[in-house]
Amino acid sequence: MTRIAILDDWQRFARIAADWAPLESRASLQFFHSPFRDEDEAAAALAEFDIIVAMRERTPFPATLVSRLPRLQLFAFTGARGGKIDFAALLARGITIACTDGSGGEPTAELALGLMLSAVRRIPAGDAALRGGRFQEGVSPGFTLKGKTLGVIGLGRIGSLVAGYGAALGMQVLAWSRNLTPERAQAAGARFASRDELLRTSDIVTLHVVLSDETRRLIGRAEIAAMKQGAVLVNTSRSGLIDQAALLEATNAQRIIAAIDVYDTEPLDPADPIRSARNTVLTPHLGYGSVETLQTYYRQSIENVLAFLDGAPIRVISADPNARRH
């Protein structure tokens, strides 16, 4: 019988997100609720599976792991692009790759807004104080967003949504990216600014660009130093956009506040220094993972696998989608 591995169900939501019965009548399913410790453990666990259903941006699939999966015929992943997946290696092996629709951007944009509000109004500190038997003691006042400046770096689908939220709150919205024009910024309700002006004048800076060789460490020590004292830096995109050592220095010195949803290694190592960093609001990569998005991901993944079993694959990828980011 065909064996199917459903990976990366760290929130234990896959089972109730969609109807797996049509697949269970035709194949043996195994759900994996914990991350693999390393590539060796992943290879040993997955070597006997014919089909893998993987959540984007969770388990890495480098070429070295792909080469150790002799029975793999279909790699079905959620979303349309995955930076941790070596698609070229899968295609070279003749493995069919199927994707799903994306989230549309709203879940990540809304989480970015939530992180902003949590940071500026000290919501996590207030929650911890109340649960610790205190009331307002030890919780400093936050600031009002109306009249403040929001700097959006990257004005694509998600960045444009966040810009709209800022405008709705009465904020002045600035935007910058390497290829952004004043006209495109204005169409999204923002004013085009240089990166230097945006960093220098924004009360909140939020990142919404794809990680690439050109954008890696886009925000380094100099950029953080240029930000206002007490400004908030929000990252729901990719950890590699920020120099992590510089970020920790600035937050621990209480120069800025960081509101972060993405990390170099996920799940986050228990010893990672960001866990104990001051002036931070942290969430465990919740950005795209709303109920509605995950329901779509799993429903379409089931459709993809059933179509493959019927000999008529759908939503097939025939070229490396990661190449579009360069």
Neighbouring CB atoms inside 10 A of 140's CB total 7
Q: Could you give the CA distance from residue 175 to residue 190 in angstroms, rounded to a whole number?
A: 6
Enter the DSSP assignment of 269. P
Rg (CA), the chain: 21
Look up residue 97 and give its amino acid.
I
Q: What residues are paired with 6 via a beta bridge?
A: 31, 53
**Which active-site residues does the annotation give?**
238, 266, 285
Q: Helices (DSSP H) in 140-237: which residue ranges? A: 157-168, 182-187, 195-201, 221-226
Query: Which residues on neighbouring strands pair with residue 2, listed in sequence order?
Result: 27
129 contacts 139 by C-beta, under 8 angstroms: yes
Residue 43: is it exposed, middle or buried by C-beta count within 10 angstroms (0-12/13-18/19+)?
A: middle
Helix (H) or strand (E) holding 307: helix 291-309
